[in-house]
Structure formats: structure tokens, C-alpha cells
Amino acid sequence: MAGNIEAAKKSDIDKWPPLEKTPYHVGIIMDGNGRWAKSKRLPRAAGHKQGAENLRQILESSVDFGIKILTIYAFSTENWNRPKAEVRGLMNLFDYYFGRELNELHKNGVQLRHIGQMAGIKPGMQDKIRRAVEETRNNQRLILNVAFNYGGRAEIVNAVRAIIKDGVLPEQVTDDLISQYLYTGGLPDPDLIIRTSGEFRISNFLIWQSAYAEYYITPTYWPNFNKDALYKALKAYSERNRRYGRVDQD
Ligand code: IPE
Ligand code: IPE
Ligand code: MG
């Protein structure tokens, strides 16, 4: 048995050799559920279900590859504008997965956080989210930020309101202070943002935090985005040269 595990690990290393640098914080815009379903002549809801299922392997793979913070875009403030039936289906799906997966996440040392507005989410679900966050708050293996009812602009508006409410003086307003007031306050900025399904836009995701993030876009639809696809994204990241406006040192 132990031999088998070792053999499995060895083949993993052959398949996904360790990379020179790994992003600490990865954001994923999980896009393309609808087109995945359409390509299979299935209803959009089937795509969302498959997308939710896919998350489990990406979470596990993220831990395997040494990612410490994963921020996933699950539902945007603009997604409320979709047909009522689709929104209802998505809400039911989140509700179901939240309940079903929570124990598993907790067992696996995942610290769950919510980023986004609570207002607008059904009260029962708000409670569930709060409880899940509370229950997993000491877990250290992976921080999973779920961007749910999230919009980058709304986040900044909230931060500005809170800053004013707290009576902060103009000269006290700095980059760091604004970062602290965002939903991600206290966490480092994302190093890599992955978008599936080939769209070249950020759709209001982490607009402040990703000022110097690397972007990686793949045509693969989210339900098909597997461990190999994640490794490819990480490999591309490891080959990037982040200059932050400076000049390379030879
Ligand atoms: C992403 O897939 C899931 C959510 C936005 C909730 P889409 O539903 O946007 O899929 P496409 O873009 O229509 O293919
Ligand atoms: C972004 O995808 C939001 C999520 C993945 C949750 P959308 O499908 O909503 O973005 P647009 O409409 O293509 O910009
Ligand atoms: Mg989409």
C-alpha cells in the first residue's frame, strides 16, 4: 500500500514537476458553464452543476501545488440581471453545495471566507455562510475566498463609505488603508488571475487588488478546467517576469 502511494507520488512529480515559483494567492474567474452546457446540448443549469462539481478537484490540486489562498468568482453583483430561473437555480446550487461540502472542506483544513455583499443574499443563506466562516476560521491549509454577490466597484464604494464613517482624515488615506477596508483586508494581493472560457476581461473582479497581478486566460470552459489545466496556468506564471514598473536587474 505504502509502495503504491509512493509510486503514485512519483508519477505525480513526473507529470507535474515542481515549479520555480508558485503564486501565493490565485484568483479564478470560473467562466463558461453556459457554453459548456450548450456544446453538449444541455440546459445552462447542467453547466452550473458541473462547474460546482469541478471545484473539488481544483481545490485539492491547489493544495497539491502549494497555493495558499484561492479566490473564486462564484456570483457577481451583475449576475442578478440574468433570467430569474437561472438566478434561482444558481442560488439553490450554492445552498446545496455549501451544506454538502462544508464538512469536507473543514476536514481538509480549508478556511472559508466570503467576499461580497451580504445584503441581497437570502437570510437563511447568510446564516449558513456566517456559520461556515466561523467554523473554519482556524484552518490553515488553504484560504478559500468565495466571491459571492461580489463586485469590485461595490467593494470600493463600501470601503470609501466605511473610511468616511470612521472619520479618517484625508492625509491618512493611503493605498494600504484602502486595502485594509476591502473585503480582502489583511490578505496579500492576488499574484495570478485565471479566467476560463477565453474572455479577455475582468468583469469587476478584484479590480483594486489585481493592479499588479499576472493574468492567464484559457479557452477551456470552467467545467473542463482540471488539474493539468491548472498546472499549465501555474507554469505560465512561473515563466513570467514581474517588474512592478521597474527595470530588470541583469
Ligand atoms: C460562469 O459561467 C458562472 C457564473 C457566472 C455564475 P457562465 O454562466 O457565465 O457561462 P457562459 O459565460 O454563459 O458560458
Ligand atoms: C464573471 O462571469 C462572473 C463569474 C464568473 C461569477 P460573467 O459571465 O458574469 O462575465 P461577463 O458577463 O462575461 O463579463
Ligand atoms: Mg460567463
- What are the pLDDT digits (tens) for 164-203? 999 999 999 999 999 999 999 999 999 999 999 999 999 9
- How many A from CA of 31 to the centre of ligand 2? 6
State which residues of the chain have pLDDT below 70: 1-6, 250
What pLDDT shows up at residue 100?
Answer: 87
Residue 205 Cβ inside 6 Å of ligand 1? The answer reads no
CATH class of the structural domain 42-238: alpha beta
Residue 32 Cβ inside 6 Å of ligand 1? The answer reads yes
DSSP-based helix, strand, coil % in the chain, nearest 5: 50, 15, 35
Q: Which residues are catalytic?
A: 31, 79
Nearest-angstrom CA–CA distance, 198 and 200: 6
What pLDDT shows up at residue 99?
Answer: 83
pTM greater than the 0.85 cutoff = yes
All residues at 6 or more sequence positions from 98 whose CB lies less than 8 Å from its CB, including other chains: 125, 128, 129, 132
**4, HSE (Cβ side, Cα atoms, 13 Å):** 1
The answer to whether 214 and 197 are in contact (CB under 8 A) is no
* Nearest ligand (C-alpha, residue 222): 1
Residue 80 Cβ inside 6 Å of ligand 2? The answer reads no
What pLDDT shows up at residue 250?
Answer: 63
What pLDDT shows up at residue 2?
Answer: 53
Pocket test for ligand 1, best of 31, 53, 202, 218 (most atoms within 8 A of CB): 31
Residue 204 Cβ inside 6 Å of ligand 1? The answer reads no
| Ligand 1 atom having least distance to the Cα of 75 | 6
Residue 23 Cβ inside 6 Å of ligand 1? The answer reads no
* Nearest ligand (C-alpha, residue 149): 2
